[in-house]
C-alpha cells in the first residue's frame, strides 16, 4: 500500500470553477515528489486539499488515501488528528506562520501536548530533541520568533511539522523567502529528515531547478491538471510538454552563459479557471501548437520510460489508432512518486 494515493482529485472553490481537475498522484515512504507550475496552476490548492485545509464551502471530490484511509471521508476529529500525526505542512513565510508573542518552544510543544497527550516535561524534552534535529540548540526554545534569523525560523517550522511524528510532509515553497545559502541548507535538512525517518515529501515550488535538485519525481501542473510527470532530473533537463520545457528554460543554468544572458520566458499568464480555453488549455501560449490543439484536450500519455505528458506531440503519432493514443498506462505503473 502506498503512503499517499490521490485519485481523480477535483477541487472547486465556493461559487467558482475547478482549481484542480482530476489529478492522480502516488507517493511511497522515503520518496520525494515535486509539484511545479506558475502561480495559479493549482499546486497549493492541491496540497491543501490533501488535508482538507481549504475554506468552508470548497468542494473536494475524488480520493486522498493516506496509508489507505480516505482523508476526504473522515470525520472532523479524525482529520484533526491526521493533520499532525499522519501528515503535516511546512508553510512558506515562517514569520507569518509563527505566533510572534509566544516562545518557539511553547509553539512546538503545543501539538505534542494536545495530540500525543504528553506530560509538560515530556513535551519539553521532545521539543529540545526536535530543535536539535533541525540544527538549533535546545536552549533556543526560550526565544521569540523575532529573535531568530529567517533560516532559523524556517527550521522551527520544520521542527513543528515533525512534532507528532507524521509520515508525510507537505512543504509549500519552504525556501522561497530565504537567500540561496540558507535555501541550500534547508533543502539538505529536509532531504536528510525524509531519508532518516522514511517519510514521504511533497514539495511545491515554481522553481524547477530546486525541485529537480531535491526530489525523485516531478509533476508539472497547468490549469489545475498534471501535464507532465516523470523522474525529476529528466523532466528538468528534457521536458516533453512545451509548458514544462518553458518553465525549465525560464531559469538560467549555472555554467551556461547563453542561458544566463538570455533566459527564455513564456508570454501571458495561466488561464482563469472560470474561462479555460477550449481543447488543450495551454494552446494560446504554446509555441508549437497545432491547428487541432484548440479542439483536442490531450490526456496524459506515455512519453518515455516512467514518463507521461499531456501533449499530442509527446506520445505516439496522431495517426495511431485512438486507443493507442489516448489510453493512459495503468496507474499502478505510471503515477508519480512510484519508485
Taking CA atoms, 230 is separated from 66, 90, 216, in Å, by 22, 24, 9
State yes or no: residue 280 binds ligand SF4 (CB under 6 A). yes
| Selected range binding ligand SF4 among 101-109, 256-264, 270-278, 285-293, rule: CB under 6 A | 285-293
The residues in 222-241 that bind ligand SF4, with binding defined as CB under 6 A, are 241
Give the three cell numbers for residue 134: 533541525
Choices 42-50, 78-86, 232-240, 305-313 (CB under 6 A): range interacting with ligand SF4: 305-313
**244 belongs to the binding site for ligand SF4 (CB under 6 A):** no
Q: At what angle do helices 180-197 and 150-161 cross, to 10 degrees?
A: 20
* Residue 238: CB minimum distance to ligand SF4, A: 16
Q: Which three cell numbers stand for residue 205?
A: 515550488
Helix (H, G, I), strand (E, B), or coil: what is residue 112?
Answer: helix
Q: How many helices (H) and strands (E) in the chain?
A: 13, 12
Cα Rg of the chain (Å, integer): 21
Residue holding cell 521569540?
A: 144
- Decide: is 219 part of the binding site for ligand SF4 (CB under 6 A): no
The reply on whether position 282 binds ligand SF4 by CB under 6 A is yes
| One residue of 166, 242, 273, 337 binding ligand SF4 per CB under 6 A | 242
Q: Which residues of 25-54 are buried (b: 16+ CB within 10 A; e: fewer)?
A: bbbbbbbbbbbbbbebbbbbbbbbbbbbeb
Q: Residue 41 gets which letter from DSSP?
A: S
Q: Which one of residues 14, 139, 288, 331 is an interface residue with ligand SF4 (CB under 6 A)?
A: 288
Give yes or no for residue 271 binding ligand SF4 (CB under 6 A): no
Q: Binder to ligand SF4 among 311, 336, 337, 338 (CB under 6 A)?
A: 311
Would you tell me which residues interact with ligand SF4 (CB under 6 A)? 241-242, 280, 282-283, 286, 288-290, 293, 298, 311-313
Amino acid at each position: 500500500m502506498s503512503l499517499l494515493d490521490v485519485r481523480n482529485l477535483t477541487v472547486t472553490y465556493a461559487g467558482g470553477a475547478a482549481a484542480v481537475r482530476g489529478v492522480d498522484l502516488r507517493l511511497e515512504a522515503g520518496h520525494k515528489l515535486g509539484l511545479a507550475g506558475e502561480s495559479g496552476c493549482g499546486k497549493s490548492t492541491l496540497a491543501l486539499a490533501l488535508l482538507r485545509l481549504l475554506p468552508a464551502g470548497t468542494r473536494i471530490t475524488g480520493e486522498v488515501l493516506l496509508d489507505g484511509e480516505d482523508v476526504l471521508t473522515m470525520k472532523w476529529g479524525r482529520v484533526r488528528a491526521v493533520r499532525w500525526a499522519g501528515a503535516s505542512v511546512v508553510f512558506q513565510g515562517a514569520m507569518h506562520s509563527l505566533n510572534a508573542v509566544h516562545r518557539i518552544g511553547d509553539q512546538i510543544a503545543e501539538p505534542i501536548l494536545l495530540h500525543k497527550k504528553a506530560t509538560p516535561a515530556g513535551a519539553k524534552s521532545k521539543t529540545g530533541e526536535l530543535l536539535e534535529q533541525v540544527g538549533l540548540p535546545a536552549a533556543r526554545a526560550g526565544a521569540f520568533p523575532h529573535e531568530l534569523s529567517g533560516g532559523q525560523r524556517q527550521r522551527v517550522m520544520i521542527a513543528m511539522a515533525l512534532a507528532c511524528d507524521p509520515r508525510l510532509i507537505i512543504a509549500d515553497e519552504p525556501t522561497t523567502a530565504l537567500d540561496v545559502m540558507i535555501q541550500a541548507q534547508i533543502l539538505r535538512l529536509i532531504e536528510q529528515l525524509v531519508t532518516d525517518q522514511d517519510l514521504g515529501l511533497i514539495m511545491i515550488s515554481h522553481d524547477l531547478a530546486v525541485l529537480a535538485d531535491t526530489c525523485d519525481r516531478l509533476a508539472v501542473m497547468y490549469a489545475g491538471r498534471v501535464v507532465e510527470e516523470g523522474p525529476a532530473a529528466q523532466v528538468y533537463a528534457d521536458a516533453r510538454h512545451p509548458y514544462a520545457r518553458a518553465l525549465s528554460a525560464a531559469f538560467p543554468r549555472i555554467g551556461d552563459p547563453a542561458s544566463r544572458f538570455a533566459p527564455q520566458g513564456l508570454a501571458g499568464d495561466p488561464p482563469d479557471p472560470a474561462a479555460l480555453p477550449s481543447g488543450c488549455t495551454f494552446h494560446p501560449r504554446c509555441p508549437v501548437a497545432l491547428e487541432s490543439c484548440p479542439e483536442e484536450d490531450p490526456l496524459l500519455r506515455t512519453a518515455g520510460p516512467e514518463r507521461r505528458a499531456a501533449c499530442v506531440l509527446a506520445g505516439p503519432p496522431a495517426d495511431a489508432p485512438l486507443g493507442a493514443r489516448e489510453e493512459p498506462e495503468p496507474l499502478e505503473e505510471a503515477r508519480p512518486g512510484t519508485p
